[in-house]
Amino acid sequence: MSGNTGMAGRVALVTGAAGGIGAAVIESLAREGAIVAAADRNEQVLKEQVELLVADGLRAEAFGLDITSSQDVAAVVDEVERRLGPIDYLVNGAGVLRLGTTRELTDDDWASTFAVNATGTFYVSRAVIERMAARRTGAVVTIASNAAGTPRTEMAAYAASKAAAAMFTKCLGLEAAEYGIRCNVVAPGSTDTAMLTSLWKDGAGPESSIAGTPSAYKLGIPLRKIAQPADVAAAVLFLLSDQAGHITMHDLTVDGGATLGV
């Protein structure tokens, strides 16, 4: 994406920045001229991602962050604003996946999934939105999943946590509208990341995601291809940008038609 995005010189905080989609988001933002605060608890991989951007002449800094700790979130948000300036954009990109039928899921599977995907999104959004509201400007995008609105076998914890994060973001958008802050959701489907490949069992590969799995009531992908992280990043950038200046509380699905537009 390029052109009149209005992102040059603005500060963007991105969680989950070391992951496939998160890494694509921070690169896309940096190439639009944003000053990127890249946050993740995987500090080694995060450092490597940020070093690549800096070596290319882009502006980005790494911040180790555990979004399941409200204290850590508050401290890091404060540090970002101290070092880089007021946060204009927030991308809630951190996420975890624990697979298993409901009977197989452990207490820890459920709790840890919600701690990152839902509660972590709340902690970070709360800390950032308070500052944005005082300045009466800002934009938030939460990366959820098309599973948030479509049942999936062995994904009850993930789907429920992403549904919680999506609805939280829309409620936040309603509350923040009076301050001129927009809050939207991007819902990816099958995307070429480590999270997707972890779903491929017994030698299955991309073809299994594209074709679908009738026995699990999972449709295939009408566009006949797996999304690339950059596809999702493009949707995130659009919703953050000035080009989406009148869009809020929207859920933009990026899944090649896998959920049939429902």
Hunting for tokens 């995987």 — which residue is that? 42
Rounded (5°) CA angle 129-135-141: 35
CA 175 to chain centre: 21
Question: Residue 95: exposed, middle, or buried by beta-carbon count in 10 A (0-12, 13-18, 19+)?
Answer: buried
* Cα 16 to Cα 38: distance, rounded to the nearest angstrom: 8
Given the residues 89, 158, 179, 217, the one annotated as active site: 158
Q: Helix, strand, coil % (nearest 5) of the chain?
A: 45, 20, 35
Do 227 and 190 contact (CB within 8 A), yes or no?
yes
Active site residue 123: no
- Taking CA atoms, 196 is separated from 135, 175, 193, 201, in Å, by 39, 34, 5, 11
Amino acid at 200: W
**Stretch (H or E) spanning 149:** none
The residues that are catalytic are 158
